[in-house]
Chains A and B, each alone.
Chain A
């Protein structure tokens, strides 16, 4: 991979087209709010897009003093969308799609409210753009964290530190970043500035005082909601030459029930960034090239 940013750039540029509806109970003109379309970066977070979405719907709201940006939340099929998950993870988790079965339908930018929804060809086929609903009433506090001006940044940096600790056994690399670097890490994500982000992130991955021992992984089961978190060492212990862990051997050790084989998928396919990952990929390379900006491999499962 030396010298090539091709995979990192592909991950960075991955996006999901969204179609946002205003919940009818929030709209002062019955069922007449316009529809908001946007293309979201998979590595970004929903709060980045909220101000412009709110502005778009502001004039349709019954009472702006009640329906404030602080009360806003998004929903898909009665599931509130988590603020501090990367958008790519949200999409892969809530759609629970198997990309091998999912022909991508072209974005339908000509939809108008009231026009019939395109009929589902197959239940598992995603309808793009992905339709989510903007709501304000009854904020589901038990399921969603409270959105504040600092909460997204805070959750992101907490995860960065956790990933650093998982990789090195200490969070020194993250803690030793200068305040300017720390700010840039988040600002460059907000600005979708690839070079700005990786300039700092590579300082952590290649920190002189530490060597990468383990890879932080979270495996999400959309059917049960279970999140399995763990660290998997770079090399397989017990192997004579210290063979590198592959994604297959890692999943086999983390989730043996769903990955009984190290080489072939039996019950579930691992999905990240909207594609099925090959089990043979070396884990360390997968992390270096395709980790989310927060340092984790966020892998969702598509049940077979």
Chain B
């Protein structure tokens, strides 16, 4: 029930703003697109408190370049990130069930990034929440440092855009609106602005909404379709 009240402004929302209903439609188009054109693994999830609150989970494994001593380092290699998409089925819980992979590829996967796409009931645009874990079987842990997140996920081309937003630059830590756990998120105060540029060209509809959104918001932290 984390929505604007039904009689609120959401009933008259027009793009780029989404209501719960139009968010679902945009999401369905996006999922069709993923099924047809992407190897990204996704899952539709619902808030434990209200099954009207739907969100999309996407899991990606990425790699940070190993340093000379062989340990994975997250510093100063933002432009070196290779995005490797693999079959994630059961990989989380059982390393032995990992699909057979090229040995060099295996060594390069250093981090698991879990993205959640939610609708903000206030900004009425999708918001990207994400967490990162290093996947080292012995030293694996969750990333809690903003510098690490920047170094690992933010491409150089997006650094300056981000730094103009907010006190510490567009990415903040907060509590997941549905799960209550700590999560990073990209502050949505500029999202509508970015999407409006596409509307001026007449290029934004519910069919391509999420694709455009991923291009302008997701790309900032390495989510590309």
Tell me the A residues contacting B by CB distance below 8 Å.
82, 84, 141-146, 148, 150-151, 153-155, 157-158, 161-162, 165-166, 169, 171, 175, 213-214, 216, 224-233, 236-238, 250, 253-255, 257
Q: Do B2 and A169 touch (CB < 8 A)?
A: no
Q: Do B142 and A142 touch (CB < 8 A)?
A: yes
Tell me the B residues contacting A by CB distance below 8 Å.
1-9, 49, 121-123, 142, 144-146, 166-168, 172-175, 177, 180-182, 187, 189
Q: Do B8 and A145 touch (CB < 8 A)?
A: no
Closest A-B pairs by Cβ, 8 of them: A253-B5, A154-B167, A145-B173, A237-B7, A226-B49, A154-B168, A146-B144, A166-B122
Query: In whole Å, how far is B152's beta carbon from the nearest beta carbon of chain A?
Result: 15
Known contacts A144-B182, A145-B173; is A171 also within 8 Å of B168 by CB? no
Q: Do A229 and B121 touch (CB < 8 A)?
A: yes
Q: Is the interface of B mostly helix, strand, loop or mixed?
A: loop
Q: Which of A145, A158, A230, A257 contacts B3 (CB 8 A)?
A: A230
**14 interchain pairs (CB within 8 A)?**
A141-B182, A150-B168, A151-B173, A155-B172, A226-B49, A227-B177, A229-B2, A229-B122, A230-B3, A230-B5, A231-B121, A237-B7, A253-B6, A253-B7
Q: Do A157 and B166 touch (CB < 8 A)?
A: yes
Given the complex, which residues of A lie within 8 Å of B172, measured CB to CB?
151, 154-155, 158
Given the complex, which residues of A lie within 8 Å of B4, measured CB to CB?
230-232
Query: In whole Å, how far is B141's beta carbon from the nearest beta carbon of chain A?
Result: 8
Closest to B173 in A: A145
Q: Which of B6, B177, B189 contacts A161 (CB 8 A)?
A: B189
Given the complex, which residues of A lie within 8 Å of B146, measured CB to CB?
146, 148
Given the complex, which residues of A lie within 8 Å of B5, measured CB to CB?
230-233, 250, 253-254
Given the complex, which residues of A lie within 8 Å of B187, measured CB to CB?
158, 161
Q: Do A165 and B123 touch (CB < 8 A)?
A: yes
Known contacts A151-B173, A253-B6; is A162 also within 8 Å of B166 by CB? no
Q: Do B7 and A238 touch (CB < 8 A)?
A: yes
Best-surrounded residue of A146, A213, A224, A255 (most CB of chain B within 10 A): A146
Query: In whole Å, how far is B190's beta carbon from the nearest beta carbon of chain A?
Result: 9
Closest to A171 in B: B189
Q: Do B175 and A169 touch (CB < 8 A)?
A: no
Given the complex, which residues of B lie within 8 Å of A148, measured CB to CB?
146, 168
Q: Do B9 and A214 touch (CB < 8 A)?
A: yes
